[in-house]
């Protein structure tokens, strides 16, 4: 199959791309589309045949459910069933973060095909803020299932050419909306009996979620105690005490369930900042090629065949935005190993460290 890429850099092209995408979607095909997090592979979320195409193009196992992207707020009640005790929390999250990089896992309605939720009684929903994604989903007028547009187990794409190298020849169309803004996948939270748990760290940080919880309590005339804040943050896997003290690392336990399938092909080792890299490679020394993925400063310790720096100013947003593109570049540089430096684990650093640990877990 020939894969076309359409760009959107003027209003006429955007309008043509939008119509071409809607045409493919109406045909049950899937289309690569930009969101503000990473590129997605979108198909009509209410058509099992379209979902099947997504799973096949990605070689994704059928037990792994898809995220459903809504055209508008109205669709929330058609796709999910929000229990009374969760309603205030859901409303507060949506008011603050939608459209945006927050995915909610909620009980589903029967309209959502089983293949989309992998048979679960819940469905993951979000509303993207990306103008191109919004244009397509609003024009199409139906929810779109859209996982990240990579083959299963690979790094998520943050540019149209990444989608081409992952899925070229397997899908008819990719819409180019330029590099993505956030660079890491959406934050996923589950809302259950009014309480939040964090399923995936992302651009909406635990600190952001804590702010909503506090404001929600206050809007009911209740000032949450430290113990209540502690309990709220604990379900998100971070320490309220560490946040209050402004500590560099606020994660309580490094997440146990490593997705070992989420990685570059090149082995990646995660090191603490400032650690001297010494790799013993005996006889083969001259032929070993190392790459560095550093946070702020180039490493002086080892000589690297390639070096990428995430953010010279130490800005976690900038670091996240370029993380996957830099990982991908290193992965394509025929290296024997990538040495990645840890970043401070607060705010967006929690999501970055999560992705780095997953990339490293593949190879231990
Ligand atoms: O930023 C994003 O969320 C991107 C863009 C394209 O929207 N999408 C994305 O989708 O990252 P995907 O499929 O690569 O990751 C979605 C994750 C998967 O790990 C899946 O297991 C989980 O969400 N998920 C989906 N539905 C779920 C559910 N009902 N319960 C728990 N986890 C769910
Ligand atoms: Mg993915």
C-alpha distance from residue 82 to each of 45, 175, 189, 193 (Å) = 19, 33, 14, 10
Does ligand 1 lie within 6 Å of residue 37's CB atom? Answer: yes
Ligand 1, atom nearest to 259 Cα: 19
Judged by its nearest atom, the ligand closest to the C-alpha of residue 155 is: 2
Identify the sign of the CA torsion 45, 48, 50, 55: positive
- Measured between alpha carbons, how far is 55 from 147 in angstroms, rounded to an integer? 9
What is the pLDDT at residue 58?
97
Does ligand 1 lie within 6 Å of residue 150's CB atom? Answer: no
Average pLDDT over residues 183-209: 96
Give the number of residues written for the chain: 364
Q: What residue's CA is closest to ligand 1, atom 19?
A: 64
Average pLDDT over residues 32-51: 98
Which SS3 state, helix, strand or coil, does residue 307 take?
strand
Q: Environment class of residue 307 by beta-carbon count within 10 Å: exposed (0-12), middle (13-18) or buried (19+)?
A: middle
Q: Which residues surround ligand 2, an ion (CB under 5 A)?
A: 148
Average pLDDT over residues 166-190: 98
Give pLDDT tens digits for 270-328: 999 877 776 655 655 567 899 999 999 887 767 899 999 999 999 999 999 999 999 99
Identify the sign of the CA torsion 213, 130, 134, 189: negative
Asked whether the predicted pLDDT for residue 343 surpasses 70, the reply is yes
What is the pLDDT at residue 283?
58
* Residue of 97, 112, 145, 147 best suited for mutating to test ligand 1, as the one with most atoms within 8 Å of CB: 147
- What is the CA angle 22-60-33, rounded to 5? 30
Judged by its nearest atom, the ligand closest to the C-alpha of residue 67 is: 1
pTM comes to 0.94
**What six digits make up the tokens of 293?**
């993925």
What is the pLDDT at residue 129?
98
Does ligand 1 lie within 6 Å of residue 64's CB atom? Answer: yes
Q: 45 CA to middle of ligand 2, Å?
A: 16
**Cα of 106 vs its chain's centroid, Å:** 18
Does ligand 1 lie within 6 Å of residue 80's CB atom? Answer: no
323 within 8 A of 338, measured Cβ to Cβ: no
Give pLDDT tens digits for 82-103: 999 999 999 999 999 999 999 9
What is the pLDDT at residue 288?
86
Average pLDDT over residues 119-126: 97
Q: What is the DSSP letter of 202?
A: -
pLDDT band at 329 (very low <50, low <70, confident <90, very high): very high
Asked whether the predicted pLDDT for residue 363 surpasses 60, the reply is no
What is the pLDDT at residue 364?
47
- Among the ranges given (5-14, 32-41, 222-231, 278-287), the one the predictor scored with the smallest mean pLDDT: 278-287
Neighbours of 255 (CB within 10 A): 17
- Measured between alpha carbons, how far is 109 from 118 in angstroms, rounded to an integer? 14
Asked whether the predicted pLDDT for residue 257 surpasses 60, the reply is no
* Share of residues in the chain with pLDDT > 90 (%): 88
């Amino acid at each position: 199959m020939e894969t076309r890429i359409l760009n959107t850099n003027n209003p006429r092209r955007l309008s043509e791309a939008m119509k071409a995408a809607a045409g493919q979607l109406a045909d049950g095909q899937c289309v690569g589309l930009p969101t503000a997090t990473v590129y997605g592979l979108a198909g009509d979320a209410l058509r099992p045949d379209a979902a099947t195409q997504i799973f096949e193009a990605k070689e994704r196992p059928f037990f792994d459910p898809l995220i459903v992207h809504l055209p508008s707020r109205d669709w929330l009640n058609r796709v999910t069933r929000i229990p009374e005790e969760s309603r205030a929390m859901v409303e507060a999250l949506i008011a603050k973060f939608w459209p945006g990089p927050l995915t909610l896992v909620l009980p589903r309605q029967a309209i959502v095909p089983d293949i989309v939720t992998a048979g679960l009684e819940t469905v993951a929903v979000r509303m993207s803020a990306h103008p191109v994604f919004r244009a397509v989903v609003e024009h199409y007028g139906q929810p779109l299932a859209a996982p990240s547009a990579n083959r299963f187990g690979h790094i998520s794409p943050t540019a149209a050419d990444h989608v081409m190298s992952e899925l070229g020849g397997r899908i008819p169309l990719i819409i180019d909306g330029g590099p993505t803004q956030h660079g890491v996948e959406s934050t996923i939270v589950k809302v259950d009996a009014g309480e939040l748990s964090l399923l995936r760290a992302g651009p909406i940080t635990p600190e952001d979620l804590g702010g909503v919880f506090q404001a929600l309590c206050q809007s009911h005339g209740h000032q949450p105690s430290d113990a209540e804040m502690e309990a709220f943050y604990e379900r998100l896997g971070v320490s309220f005490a560490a946040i209050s003290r402004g500590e560099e690392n606020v994660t309580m336990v490094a997440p146990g369930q490593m997705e070992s399938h989420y990685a570059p092909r090149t082995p990646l080792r995660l090191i603490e900042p400032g650690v001297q890299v010494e790799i013993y490679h005996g006889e083969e020394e001259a032929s070993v090629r190392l790459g560095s993925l550093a946070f702020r400063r180039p490493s002086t310790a080892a000589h690297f065949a390639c070096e990428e720096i995430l953010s010279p100013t130490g800005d976690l947003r900038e670091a996240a935005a370029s993380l996957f593109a830099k990982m991908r570049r290193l992965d394509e540089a025929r290296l024997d190993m990538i040495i990645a430096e840890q970043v401070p684990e607060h705010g967006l650093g929690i999501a970055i460290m999560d992705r780095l640990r997953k990339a490293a877990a593949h190879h231990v």
